A and B are shown apart, each in its own frame.
Chain A
Amino acid sequence: MTGRINKTLGLLIGAYLLVFLQSHWQGPRLWLGFQPDLTPAILVCVGLTLGAGQVSTAAMLTGLWLDSLSANPLGLSVLPLFIAGWAVFSFRELILRDELVAQFYLGTAAGAAVPLLQVWLLQLVGANPLLGWQMGVWCLVNALLCGVAVPVFDRLAKLLDRWFSHPLHDPNRWPNENRQIVRGKH
């Protein structure tokens, strides 16, 4: 239970900081000419490793935080992020989810699909976002960055889990000093 709370807290703090950095850190904009959006990668990680509740919580909070700092209508990003996380969550038993290549492909697909869904929803609600070839190129590069980010976030989450959680109890672990049965002659 504590482990699950730790993971959820870690996830939310991570998402919060990522949204903050995307809005307030100018570095990537100066190097790449656009601001990458790595939130789909977070949702893919959550879908691969955590439960349904965490997927919906992460999608709702990340979406609301992102929209609160942008000109998007509030709540517009929630559904695309949730769809990305939920799709991965639903099929994760069929995916070799620990494989680097699988994680990269999932991240790339989510990184491409989420902005497209967001733009589609924006047009549905009558907004007028900046579109064109430039956006397409940025979307493609962003998808690749999301693909790279998924394994990075996954390793980071595992590292934090190792630091802040107790090791799992394994009764069959050997040698186990406390549980070792010393047999005598009789």
Chain B
Amino acid sequence: MKRFFYRSQQTAVGAVLLTVFLLMVMPESVRARLKSAIGGLFLPVIGISTTGQAALESLGQLGVTQPGPFPTNQAAGASPTVADLQLDNDRLAEENRLLREAVEWERRIPWETRLARVVGRDPFNWWRRIKINLGSNKDIRLNQPVISVRGELVGRISEVGPLTSWVLLVGDPNCRFSALLKESRSQGGIVSPRQYSSDPRVVELTYLPNDVELRPGQAVVTSGLGGGFPKEIPVGQVVDSWRSKDGLYTEARVKLHANLNQLETVRVLTQTHF
């Protein structure tokens, strides 16, 4: 009996080592396909979770009469006071502003966009990636830029599957790109943060010339250099700045406009009009 347990332990260790060894020597293409197949095991749970969420939402709608995204006091049946009307007016003005902004952005960029839903995230914190529900079946291609609904830079497509794709978010070590300060037009590069920050929206803008005048709140946009992203996509705002250790260039912390932890829907830039 003791011998059997001993042998079973050997088998257990051997199985793990063999698996790791086989995965290491496997060709990259086979490993990618295997990875995709194993990831596909989660599709049923994703489906159940999505259906459950939709069912709960529809149940909620059956139980409660929804007057719309911004319910007004008139709809609730209460007699409106001046203060209530002012409140409703403010809400509608804000909604109007957001819609105008979205439409304005759509008009301004020379790209076609496609809305996508965020369906997953990389479980490890040292990667910043999200999974969207569009894949090669919807003509999604590698390195297409991804922006938020309001048009702020989010990242780029890094992997395309048949039904889903992975988006590399701004701040990931593998998502570096050229950006510029909107006022002074000084160029630098956006990299992942190297200093501690409790705010996950903070990235770094590096390789700025030393004579640049940096102030907190200055807007940072994409420069269009390198061809990765189109020009003038809003990235974020300068928080603070310092001279690099060797004194050759200036660096700055930039707070991203898009809250990457709260993305639910994004836009993929699919085609230019040029």
18 A-B residue pairs with CB within 8 Å: A19-B123, A24-B49, A29-B121, A30-B261, A33-B200, A34-B200, A37-B124, A52-B5, A52-B11, A56-B12, A68-B38, A69-B42, A69-B122, A129-B124, A130-B128, A130-B171, A130-B173, A135-B126
Contact B172 A130 (CB under 8 A): yes
A86 to B131, CA, bound (A): 33
Docked-complex contact A132 and B193, CB < 8 angstroms: yes
8 Å CB interface, A55-76 against B: 55-56, 59-60, 64-75
Residue on B nearest A128 in the bound complex, by CB = B173
Q: How far is the CA of A153 from the CA of B175 in the complex (A)?
A: 37
Contact B123 A86 (CB under 8 A): no
B9 pairs with A30, CB closer than 8 A = no
Find out whether the CB atom of A132 lies under 8 angstroms from the CB atom of B194.
yes
A interface vs B, CB < 8 Å? 16-17, 19-20, 22-24, 26, 29-30, 33-35, 37, 51-53, 55-56, 59-60, 64-75, 78-79, 82, 86, 118-119, 122, 128-135, 137-138
Inter-chain contacts of B174 with A (CB < 8 A): 128
Contact assessment for B122 and A23 in the assembled complex, using a CB-CB cutoff below 8 Å: yes
Question: What's the Cα separation between A17 and B35 when bound, in Å?
Answer: 18
The distance from the CB of A87 to the nearest CB of chain B, in whole angstroms, is 12
Contact B261 A33 (CB under 8 A): yes
- Chain B residue at minimum C-beta to C-beta distance from A78: B20
Asked if B123 contacts A75 (CB within 8 A), the reply is no
Bound form: Cα–Cα A145–B34 in Å? 31
Complex alpha-carbon distance, A77 and B15, angstroms: 15
Tell whether B13 is near chain A: CB-to-CB under 8 Å.
yes
Q: Is the CB of A68 within 8 A of B35?
A: yes
B224 CB to nearest A CB, Å: 25
Proximity bits, B116-133, A CB within 8 Å = 1, else 0:
000111111111110100
**Nearest A residue (CB) for B21:** A75
Q: Are B23 and A74 in contact (CB under 8 A)?
A: yes
Chain A hits for B197, CB < 8 A = 134
Q: How large is the interface on B (under 10, 10 to 19, 20 to 34, 35 or more residues)?
A: 35 or more
Does A78 lie within 8 Å of B19, measured CB to CB?
yes
In the complex, whether B138 has a CB less than 8 A from a CB of chain A is: no
| Structural contact, B120 and A24, CB atoms closer than 8 A | yes
Chain A residues near B119: list those with CB within 8 A. 24
- Could you tell me the distance between the alpha carbons of A70 and B31 in the complex, rounded to whole angstroms? 13
Q: In the complex, are the beta carbons of B121 and A26 less than 8 A apart?
A: yes
Mask of B12-47 contacts with A, CB within 8 angstroms, 1/0: 110110011001100000010011101101100110
* Cβ-closest chain A residue relative to B174: A128
Question: A74 contacts B20, CB within 8 Å?
Answer: no
A66 cross-chain contacts in B, Cβ below 8 A: 123-124
The answer to whether A53 and B8 touch across the interface, beta carbons within 8 angstroms, is yes
Closest partner residue, chain A, to B263 (CB atom)? A26
The answer to whether B13 and A56 touch across the interface, beta carbons within 8 angstroms, is: yes
Tell me, in angstroms, the Cα distance from A150 to B34 when the chains sit together: 31
- Contact in complex: B15, A60 (CB < 8 Å): yes
Among B13, B123, B172, B192, which residue has its beta carbon within 8 angstroms of that of A69?
Answer: B123
Instruction: Tell whether, in the assembled complex, residue A137 and residue B196 are in contact, meaning their CB atoms are under 8 Å apart.
Output: yes
Does B61 reach chain A (CB closer than 8 Å)?
no
B81 at the interface (CB under 8 A from A): no
Given contacts A22-B123, A130-B128, 20 further A-B contacts (CB under 8 A): A23-B121, A23-B122, A29-B261, A52-B8, A56-B15, A60-B15, A60-B16, A67-B35, A69-B39, A69-B120, A70-B127, A71-B122, A74-B23, A74-B31, A75-B24, A78-B20, A78-B23, A130-B125, A130-B171, A132-B194
